[in-house]
Structure 1
Amino acid sequence: MPYSVVLLGVAGLIPFLAMPIAYSFNLLSLTQSAIYFMQYSAVLLSFFGGIHWWDSISNQRYGKQMYIAMFPSIVGWLCLVFSHDPKTLGVLSLSYVAILVYDKFTLSLPKGQIVSYISLRIALTSVVVISHAWMIYLIT
């Protein structure tokens, strides 16, 4: 993976780590921290649907993949609608894992690129899932 891809991927973790830390240092209230965390999580989850939308169009695969590309945006939006329920953080976390698994078996990348991409995604998704667990711990 190009350095810029890794750098941007790691930078994308900042809000996931910053919100629980901001609460821990009394920089934000727990409510503010949880809401900002959930909002960022929902928006970023939508990004992964966009990857499949692009992959579907660029490889002229207009079937299941194009429809599933909308799933992360819909899940993210529903989690925002039901943001008062702490279970939505669990739904978001599981959605990141699900889209990672779907990426592994669906994306049309050359073999070397898909291995690098999935390896990077596993590392980043692991931090995302741990951050969700941390936020769930804080609010329960």
Structure 2
Amino acid sequence: MFHLLRYFQVPSKMAYLQILLQPRSRAACSFVPLQCSLTGLPKSQLFRHTSSGLSKAQGFHSSCCNWKKKKPPESAPQELDFLRYYMKSLKDTPKPALYLSVAGLIPFVSVPLLMAIQESTYPELVFAQIAYGASVVSFFGGIRWGFALPEGSPAKPDWINLGNSIVPSILAWIALLFKDGLMEAGIIVIMGLGITLHYDLALLPTYPSWFKALRVIVTLVAVCSLIATLCIVNIYPEKHLTPATNKVED
């Protein structure tokens, strides 16, 4: 008799294992007739027993998924693109700084525009533009010096900050020494504008974001204007604003 009961218990365990491996709907349908034939219980009680067993089995299966190590959320990639990272802060620029910066670009843009319209090269205007660019380069260096002096400033008055603020002034002075070499003077001013921009964005990143965005715009316009002037010098013939007067020796 016990051998007979053991014979019936083994298929019932195998059938319960089938429940864990099969989908819920198919397992319930296949398990109920099998249990009815083995135990002789009514189908309603067996179906209730089967559904409760399935819910436990499914809960056990869902808990197994939680054992897997979840990957930590990936950090957002750092936005190195300047147009997306800094240009958003351009709208926070104070109005006086924005208007004065735009007005300061007029001497840069007007010289190549005037010479292109006249189709002539005026050395006086070219030198005036280069001298103005040299003063702007020196001004950008002075900003760092003034920024490092107040107490509590993030830029300390050390050798790096104060020394870097002097380099643009030296470049501006060297550019003014090339009075007869306009090409050399223009190239030195362009180098000075690029070096000061590199200082403010990369080496000494303590300025507000709106100032960095404004610096990039001002520098790009100034450099493009100087390049256009140097190209016009090599294309159009040279003329003077005032005719040369010949001195007559008595």
TM-score of the superposed pair, with normalisation by structure 2? 0.51
Which amino acid in 1 is paired with 2:176?
Answer: L
**Pairing partner for 2:138 from 46, 59, 66:** 46
Higher relative contact order (CA 8 A, sep 6+): 1
The CA distance in 1 between the partners of 2:193 and 2:179, in whole Å, is 17
- Deviation track 1:93-125 (CA, whole Å, cap 9, x = no partner) reads 12112111101231534xxxx211111111111
**Which segments of 5 or more consecutive residues in structure 2 lack a partner in the other structure?**
1-92, 235-250
Letter aligned with residue 135 of structure 1:
T
2:206 paired residue number: 108
Equivalent position of 1:57 in the other structure: 149
Amino acid in the other structure paired with 2:220:
S
Question: One-letter code of the match for 1:98?
Answer: I
Q: 1:93 aligns with which of 168, 184, 190?
A: 190
Identity of aligned residues (%): 25
TM-score, normalised to structure 1's length?
Answer: 0.87
Determine the C-alpha separation between the residues in 1 that align with 2:179 and 2:197: 23
1:23 aligned residue: 115
Q: Which amino acid is the alignment partner of residue 91 of structure 1? A: I
Shift of 1:68: 1.4
Q: How does 1:61-140 map to 2 (within 5 A)?
A: 61-85=157-181, 86-104=183-201, 105-109=203-207, 114-140=208-234
Instruction: Give the count of matched residue pairs.
Output: 136
More helix by share: 1
